[in-house]
């Protein structure tokens, strides 16, 4: 069982198992996203991790998922232990456009109601000087240090390369041949979640 964490409004004497706020008990973030100390402690008697993935955004999450998928048929003891390190918090549980009642629109509003006054942005430091509000607060931009990274905000539009694009000699021949094959683009688009598919309800 993970060690207790401080509340969102921490008190040195009041500790809880789940992060509590006015709307939810955040069980997913608490039990799925362990602290680094908890992750290391859990492997002290098993020899550590076999693979460490830095970042849980589009590339990191995809890489970790593939490592897991390719090893899932191995016997339990032969499966690699995979650690995903993420600097940011568990921020959204799904793509912002799937949030109900237009809440996805929050990504364009000032951060003032969302984070402490000492934190003006949840994005790359290089972008702290981007668009700001009249009171000099950063806008909630679409590149965040959080579980899922920019995959939570990416629209999923992936146009295919033209024949002229793929004639560039810098392209590896095997990559060009794969993309031009019957299964090339459909496979890639399915892997990254941009393939055209029937609706879940209306099929």
pLDDT at 22 (0 to 100):
67
Q: What is the pLDDT of residues 29-58, one digit of tens each?
A: 666 777 788 788 877 777 788 999 999 988
Where does a domain end: 55, 86, 117? 86
Give, as one character, the DSSP assignment of residue 126: G
Q: What are phi and psi of 188, to 5 degrees?
A: -60, -45
Regarding whether 182 and 151 lie in a shared domain, the answer is no
Regarding whether 135 and 186 lie in a shared domain, the answer is no
Mean pLDDT, residues 153-164: 81
Regarding whether 138 and 82 lie in a shared domain, the answer is no
Q: Is the pLDDT of residue 174 over 90?
A: yes
Regarding whether 94 and 81 lie in a shared domain, the answer is no
**Number of domains comprising the chain:** 3
Q: Is 180 part of any domain? A: yes
pLDDT at 123 (0 to 100):
44
Q: How far apart are CA 188 and CA 4, in angstroms?
A: 42
Domain span holding position 71: 47-86
pLDDT at 124 (0 to 100):
42
| Contact status, residue 115 vs residue 97, Cβ threshold 8 Å | no
Where does a domain end: 86, 117, 146? 86
């Amino acid at each position: 069982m993970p060690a207790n964490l401080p509340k969102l409004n921490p008190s040195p004497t009041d500790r809880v198992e789940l992060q509590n706020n006015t709307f939810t008990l955040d069980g997913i973030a608490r039990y799925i996203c362990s602290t680094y100390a908890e992750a290391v402690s859990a492997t002290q008697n098993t020899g550590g991790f076999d693979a460490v993935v830095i970042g849980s955004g589009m590339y990191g999450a995809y890489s970790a998922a593939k490592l897991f998928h390719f090893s899932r048929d191995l016997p339990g003891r032969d499966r690699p232990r995979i650690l995903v390190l993420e600097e940011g918090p568990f921020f959204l549980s799904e793509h912002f456009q799937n949030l109900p009642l237009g809440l996805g629109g929050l990504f364009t509003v000032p951060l003032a109601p969302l984070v402490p006054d000492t934190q003006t942005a949840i994005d790359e430091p290089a972008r702290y000087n981007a668009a700001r509000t009249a009171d000099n607060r950063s806008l909630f931009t679409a590149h965040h240090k959080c579980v899922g990274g920019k995959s939570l905000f990416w629209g999923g539009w992936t146009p295919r390369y033209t024949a002229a694009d793929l004639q560039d000699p810098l392209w590896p021949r095997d990559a060009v041949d794969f993309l031009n094959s019957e299964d090339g683009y459909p496979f890639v688009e399915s892997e990254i979640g941009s393939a055209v598919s029937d609706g879940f309800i209306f099929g």
